[in-house]
Amino acid sequence: MNRYLITLGLLVSSSTILAAEPGPAAPDQPPGTRKPFPHFAWRSDDGQSSLDLGGALRVNYRDEHWDTTENNGRFLFDTFRLDLQARHRQLFADVGYWFQDDGKRAIDRGFVGYRIDEQSSLQLGAPFKPFGLEPYPQFGWSYHIPFFMGYGVSAGNGLKYSYKDSAWDLQLGYFPRMLPTGIRYSPELGRFSDLDDNAVAFTQSRQDNEKRNQVNARLARTFSGEGWKTEIGASLASAELYNATTHDDGDYWAAGMHALVNRGNWTITGQAIRYEYDPRNPAGVSDDAVLMGGNGLTPAYLIASKATITALNVGYDVFTPGLGQLKKVKLYTDYSRMIKDKRGWDDSQMFTVGMQFLAMPIMAWVDLTWARNANPFGGAENGTGWTSTSSVGSNDWYYRTNINIGYYF
């Protein structure tokens, strides 16, 4: 317990030195800037109604340095994304639909909303689950441990209330069910029967848990001064952990603290998350691990039932007014670590250094990532990375180069 508290204290104290921009989400063009083809926008004469259809087309180059990969020096289609925003008086809607590699489909969010007043609104459908850094838990294109554990760009079927003013950000959500596995953008707890096309029957076939009646709360406070801005926040999540084999309910909870800070060209974001799954499995199924999965774009994987996650991300903006369409280069480094409760299960770590180029409508990331005991890095050689780290290649560092180029409209 002491090492969890020490790590949390170091993370939060280091992150609050500076202050933060509104988050590491991919930036859009400034309001009033005409977006390129095939963007579509419509506004009513009275300004009470609007429709906006945009999106992105991205390609990806990847060079992975391990024996089982098929991605050595390959330039491939990444995704075609459609973003739809609509508004009529107090009503609004927001949908993000992804056409991904390997014929996969995903929805990162999809909801209708009602604006109660200038600060507060309700969202119904599949809004983002409020928790931690929003919406992305890192600067680089390569996702980090919080995302793979379900704490980044994660939506659920339910209802969310949001209140935001210049100082306070309060979000409350209730999600009776998770998004269906076939359209999830981010990973979430899953049953083997829903994930069997991309799961390993030998080790995962008796995993039969799912979240129900999840409740999330996120509260953040913004402080600002001359040349600096800081957001400090805390998050909570709790859910029933229904097992379809035993028909019993276990428990899930998570708690987190985050800081998002900015001073001048510097940006620092960080968070610490503690989570625990307490499943009611049938006899012979270990309670030490639970099954996670998305829409099949990556294989399903087991994670430790109880762990602490820390992450620290540092970015520096280099503005380039004399380079034409290229307006800014962001230099960044992302680091995340997963500390598992189970004795003998070694930590998982990821470390990325990279650059983001903003030349709208073109945006690109160049990531150099090292990972240890992280399933996506090392593939079959590192298949138990999120749990026991007992497979071939566990406790070794793996390296990957990734370049992602997108056209945003």
Asked, for residue 42, whether it belongs to a domain, the answer is: no
| Threshold 0.85, pTM exceeds | yes
CA 288 to chain centre: 24
Q: What percent of the chain is modeled with pLDDT above 70?
A: 92
Asked, for residue 334, whether it belongs to a domain, the answer is: yes
The pLDDT, as a whole number, for residue 27 is: 36
Asked, for residue 48, whether it belongs to a domain, the answer is: no
Neighbours of 212 (CB within 10 A): 15
Q: What percent of the chain is modeled with pLDDT above 90?
A: 89
Asked, for residue 207, whether it belongs to a domain, the answer is: yes
The pLDDT, as a whole number, for residue 296 is: 93
* pLDDT digit string, tens, across residues 301-347: 999 999 999 999 999 999 999 999 999 999 999 999 999 999 999 99
Q: Is the CB of residue 280 less than 8 Å from the CB of residue 250?
A: yes
Asked, for residue 45, whether it belongs to a domain, the answer is: no
Asked, for residue 225, whether it belongs to a domain, the answer is: yes
The domain that contains 22 carries what CATH number?
Answer: 2.40.160.10
H or E stretch at 253: strand 248-263
Q: Which tokens in the block code for residue 127?
A: 């809004």
Q: What stretches in the chain show pLDDT beneath 70?
A: 1-33
The pLDDT, as a whole number, for residue 33 is: 62
Asked, for residue 38, whether it belongs to a domain, the answer is: no
Asked, for residue 300, whether it belongs to a domain, the answer is: yes
Could you tell me which residues are beta bridge partners of residue 339?
308
Strand-strand pairing, 105-115 and 91-100? antiparallel
* pLDDT digit string, tens, across residues 6-22: 333 333 333 333 222 22
Full residue range of the structural domain in which residue 358 is found = 2-27+53-408
Alpha-carbon span 114 to 18, nearest angstrom: 35
Helix (H, G, I), strand (E, B) or coil at 307: strand
Instruction: Say how many domains are in the chain.
Output: 1
Instruction: Outline where DSSP puts E strands in 320-359.
Output: 328-340, 348-359
* pLDDT digit string, tens, across residues 70-114: 888 889 999 999 999 999 999 999 999 999 999 999 999 999 999
> Which segments of 222-347 does DSSP mark as H helices, in order?
none
Alpha-carbon span 61 to 128, nearest angstrom: 29
Cβ-based neighbours of 283, under 8 Å, separated by 6 or more: none
The pLDDT, as a whole number, for residue 28 is: 37
The pLDDT, as a whole number, for residue 17 is: 31
Burial level of 199, CB count in 10 A (0-12/13-18/19+)?
buried
Alpha-carbon span 362 to 283, nearest angstrom: 54
Average pLDDT over the chain reads 92
HSE of 193, CA atoms in CB hemisphere, 13 A = 6
